[in-house]
Amino acid sequence: MKKTYFLSDVHLGSRAIEHSRTQERRIVNFLDSIKEKAEAIYLLGDIFDFWYEFKTVVPKGYTRFLGKLSELTDRGIEVHFFIGNHDIWCKDYLTKECGVIVHWEPFTTEIHGKEFYLAHGDGLGDPDKKFKFLRNMFHSRTLQRMFSTIHPRWSVDLGLAWASHSRKKRLKDPEPEYLGEENEYLIVYSKAYLKTHPDINYFIYGHRHIMLDLMLSRTSRVLILGDWITLFSYAMFDGNELVMNQYIEGESEVI
């Protein structure tokens, strides 16, 4: 049976990550290593550190990655791309040019008889008022139209600089480790959602940059996928088991 893969938070193009070309090659090599095994790949947000589509212009770069996505979809592999809080501004480029299915909202789907709830995770129960304010700004159609009037020479550079500032701040003040069931807002959100949607077997998120696999009930689990900055982590579902692993080139076997 073919497998389904899940990963998130690659942050391609980040100016705060050294050796960004090496980072891009790593994710491309991983995708290449699973192309014979995969029936579907879910990219759960923040794949780019900043992505903004104008009517006839997209940010330069990422040619190896975009080419690999196109190769995978040409082979008949479903590739699902979820917007995150860094790559909100997707339109139809990835769909038209690379054959990718783009999701702007959380998505529930059945895979081999199991029910999956999939989302990047930003905006789902996060109590941070500053983050909520910024998220609402970034999702504003009016502000997006205003931003689009700025020439890409300046607007894309501004976006990359903003994202870099955010990432450098995280390097100085790292993502907090697991906070416990009562304090992890994605767990709290999932538990509340499960009460009205008891058929969900797996909640899978990105965003938090930690690896977590937790049972919510006898038939339901929540996974947070980590990242591709330091952890290089992913999840794989083979129709029977859902497992997490880390990809270390030349050292770890891809499951």
SS3 37: coil
CB atoms within 10 A of CB 193: 19
pLDDT given for residue 154 in this prediction:
55
pLDDT digits (tens, 9 = 90+) for 179-201: 888 999 999 999 999 999 999 99
Q: Are strands 78-82 and 38-43 parallel, antiparallel or unpaired?
A: parallel
Weakest-pLDDT range from 50-54, 63-67, 169-173:
169-173
Q: Are 53 and 89 in contact (CB under 8 A)?
A: yes
Residue 65 CB: number of other CB atoms within 10 A? 21
Cross-strand partners of 214: 222
Contact present, 208 and 175 (Cβ < 8 Å): yes
Alpha-carbon distance of 207 to 252, in angstroms, equals 24
**Average pLDDT value for residue range 109-118:** 98
What is the per-residue pLDDT for 89?
Answer: 75
235 forms beta bridges with 6, 244
Q: Which residue has the higher pLDDT, 23 or 112?
A: 112
User: Which segments of 173-244 does DSSP mark as H helices, in order?
Assistant: 185-196
Per the confidence metrics, is the pTM higher than 0.85? yes
Which helix (H) or strand (E) element contains residue 231?
A: none
> Tens digit of pLDDT for each residue in 14-33?
877 777 788 899 999 999 99
What average pLDDT score do residues 114-121 get? Answer: 97
Please provide residue 95's backbone torsions phi and psi, each rounded to the nearest 5 degrees: -70, -50
Residue 131 has pLDDT above 60, yes or no: no
Report the distance separating Cα 124 and Cα 143, nearest Å: 22
CA 181 vs. chain centroid, Å, equals 22
pLDDT at 132 exceeding the cut of 60: no
User: In this predicted structure, what is the pLDDT of residue 74?
Assistant: 98
